[in-house]
Amino acid sequence: MSAVNDTKFKAFLLTGIPGQEDIHPWISIPFCLMYVISIVGNSVILFIIKTDPSLHEPMYIFLSMLAITDLGISIVTIPTTLGIFWFNSREISLDACFAQLFFIHSLQCIESSMLLLMAFDRFLAIRDPLRYASILTLPRIAKMGLVFVLRGVAIILPLPLLLKRFRYCRANVLSHSYCVHQDVMKMACSDISINSIYGLFTTLLTVGLDSLVIFLSYVMILKTVLSIASTAEYVRALNTCVSHLCAVLLFYTPMIGLSVIHRFGKGSPPLLQILLGYIYLLVPPLMNPIVYSVKSKHLRARIIRVFIK
């Protein structure tokens, strides 16, 4: 394998929506709105949680971690996506592409970890409410968050380093308006077996493991809730999990769908792959603050109070 300087291509070409180049400026309007709502929504949640001492509880601290991750994902993908729709700026250098895919995948890994911690938070709050606050102390939450951030960075860091060693001499047009590992890997004319195996390993170790533990957490939550005698009590207990369940479905469904298409869906329509790619990165940061603001009365009341003032 030769170094990047010896490759035929010095840059990749990103893709907006093929066949719709003439109306890209119009298509950019909903994308702009989604980015603005994502950034403003997550920033408002962070501001409210930071400034209101009554929200300094484990559930809201985990929510603030999720909001920071969603902000990072939006900020990382904004430049290339809007660059295509506004200025038809499709070219991205190899190093910039590798950097973008590192941040996208590491932030996705961290978001998966945050959803896992939030599932643990809900399980503990329902299973052992008396010891809930004493177990999830602020130092312990900070340590758990730091461990999962380091896990995401350590697992994803080898991906761009491995990609940097490849020769890229095939068609250099990527399938999305941003760089992801599965897409860039296919552009190499070197042996990509190591990347393919390691990519599958990282998926199983992060998203696969996290989703399994979240599923087991909800099995335990359901078992605990069903043992509650009062119908009103277990409905109230389950209602506290609705926001988290929505966030889990919004995150994992498009991610798993896109991974399956990249690996096994060679005959799938390109438009389906592109649409899933946008849903994969745009919808969770957009919907998470909306879902939590609607379902959490405490948080919603604080947001309304701020805007009324």
Orientation angle between helical segments 209-226 and 242-264, nearest 10 degrees: 150
Nearest C-alpha neighbor of 167 from the set 135, 148, 189: 189
Q: Which domains does the chain have, with CATH numbers?
A: 11-308 (1.20.1070.10)
Neighbours of 278 (CB within 10 A): 18
Distances (CA, A) of 48 to 42, 55, 67, 304: 10, 8, 12, 10
Token couple for 280: 């994969």
Task: Note the pLDDT tens digit of each residue in 136-174.
Answer: 999 999 999 999 999 999 999 999 999 988 888 767 888
Task: Note the pLDDT tens digit of each residue in 177-212.
Answer: 999 888 888 888 878 888 888 988 888 888 889 999
Neighbours of 293 (CB within 10 A): 18
Q: Which amino acid is at 146?
A: L
Neighbours of 277 (CB within 10 A): 22
SS3 189: coil
How far apart CA 200 and CA 256 sit, in angstroms, is 12
Greater model confidence, 188 or 36:
36
